[in-house]
Structure 1
Amino acid sequence: MVESGDPQRFEEARLRVQGGDRLRAGIGTLGEKSLHAILKNYFEPAGENQETRVGGFVADIVGSEGIFEIQTKGFDKLRKKLAAFLPVCPVTVVYPVAQLKWVNWVDPSSGEVVARNRSPRRGQAADVFYELYKIKEFLQTEGLRFCIPLLEVEDYRLLDGWDRTKKRRATRSDRVPTRLFGQVWVSGWREWGELIPPGLPQPFTAKEYAKAARQRLEMARRALNVLASLGLVERAGKAGRAYLYQLPAEMENG
């Protein structure tokens, strides 16, 4: 389900976090960064409901709607948390996506931004499939849902990379969300199917899926792996060396 979210509350959370000298720096006792801190304060402004121990782990938020876990990086470490949290209460995994991103290059000696460029790539909710691959065994567990905020983000990177431009493998200093465009909620089998790009031929290859979804081929392959595990796509033979996929009848018929 797509909704606008609450841009005013998001702006209040952003100003609250950035007003504490947290911009472009490690913050909090857990090495928290701006993207994580702003989203945590957006979903739960009350500090007493944040960073609460549950089942041997620290949950970002524990409130009336259960646990909220904000995952701004990979889902590798989420498996153990989900195994501990889901038997206790509902869990919402928040995975932010930069729909619009500005890359700021920072001189590491002075801390000054020396260049700012708009990233050509527009993130989308379906980008979450790349990480879902790591926790797909939990996706049909009762009580688990996902929220995907679509954001404008300022990405700060140090000019300390390996090549002549100092940009290759440069250190990411911080990511600061500056605007909320909307948010996508997914809580069930059919809602994951709504992230499949429209207009796919039947059957289709991973390359055709990648083109329709405007994703890299590696991301498309992971998405298809997850969708197949959910029964939302089916293998349909091969075309040369490429696997063919198709939507199950119940998906094609809406």
Structure 2
Amino acid sequence: MRRQGLEKSKEQEEKKATSSGIGVQNERSLHAALKQWYAQPEDNFEVPLNGFFIDLVRGEQLVEIQTRNFAAIRQKLQTLVQEHRVHLLHPITFEKWVLQVDEAGTKVKSRRKSPYRGKLTDIFEELVRIPELIKHENFTMEFPMIREEEVRCRDGRGSKYRKRESIKDRKLLEVVSSHRFTTAADFLRFLPEGLVRPFSNKTLSVALSLPIHRCRQITYCLRKMEVIQVVGKQKNELLFESA
């Protein structure tokens, strides 16, 4: 009777998690490949917990893999870290190949190497949606730098930026390196040695050779993490210093 009760409870939990729209059926190739890359023999996959499916469970640690859009996972993470240790894995594209396929997806029309080159500072594109979470003692993050293959189709339904090409899939080719962050202070590595203090977004942009919008994302996140603070203003530019 006890076993039947446990099975019924697990079934109810799975149905509840499925209703949240999170599960293996929604995976793309990149997500599944990163799960296999990170996994160890004793890990469990797609474990229902508190109305969610957890990508990977390793002992007492929950591992979530999010390839894009941190806003979609923010509430899930905020809920889970209250009672569990959570490790978030998010890939950064270092190099990319673009594969063109026909609308049926069965025929490869072309393959080319993209001129795009990613940097670790690209993490702030998504991190601006959850910067406060790194302050929680139960939360850690990891960013694999990857080579990937992006499968596209000229079906007229994609963005203007891609000339209406739809992205059909993303495939992992190689993990080049991986970078782990366990505390807010770890993110101070993005402030280079020799940076004049106090600093502005403009001076940080020059020091890192990054566009100003990326530096604004960096300082926004570091402020929310409470590792830097505003200490003044120079004309229209805020001035920052370590907290």
TM-score with structure 2 setting the length: 0.78
CA shift, 1:186, in A, is 0.5
Query: After the TM superposition, which parts of structure 1 deviate over 4 Å for at least 4 consecutive aligned residues?
Result: 45-48
Counterparts of 2:117 and 2:190, CA distance in 1:
18
Q: 1:113 to 1:214 in 2, by over 3 A?
A: farther
Aligned equivalent of 1:230, options 212, 217, 225: 225
Letter of the structure 2 residue corresponding to residue 55 of structure 1: N
Task: Report the equivalent of 2:126.
Answer: 131
Please state if 1:178 is matched with 2:173.
yes
Q: 1:121 to 1:94 in 2, by over 3 A?
A: same
Aligned equivalent of 1:241, options 225, 231, 236: 236
Task: Report the equivalent of 1:190.
Answer: 185
Aligned equivalent of 1:203, options 180, 198, 201: 198
Q: How many residues align?
A: 219
Among all aligned residue pairs of Structure 1 and Structure 2, give the percentage whose two residues are the same amino acid.
27
Contact 1:100 1:123 in 2 (8 A): no
Contact 2:46 2:54 in 1 (8 A): yes
Counterparts of 1:116 and 1:101, CA distance in 2:
9
Helix, strand or coil at the partner of 2:26: coil
Q: Which runs of 5+ in 1 are unaligned?
A: 1-27, 249-254
Larger Rg: 2
More displaced stretch, 213-222 vs 86-95: 213-222
Task: Report the equivalent of 2:15.
Answer: none
TM-score with structure 1 setting the length: 0.75
Please state if 1:114 is matched with 2:110.
yes
Q: Give RMSD over aligned pairs.
A: 2.7
CA shift, 1:115, in A, is 4.3
Counterparts of 1:135 and 1:116, CA distance in 2:
34
Aligned equivalent of 1:148, options 116, 122, 143: 143
Q: 1:217 to 1:90 in 2, by over 3 A?
A: same
Q: 1:173 to 1:230 in 2, by over 3 A?
A: same
More displaced stretch, 168-177 vs 138-147: 168-177
Q: Which runs of 5+ in 2 are unaligned?
A: 1-22
Task: Report the equivalent of 2:62.
Answer: 67
Helix, strand or coil at the partner of 1:76: helix
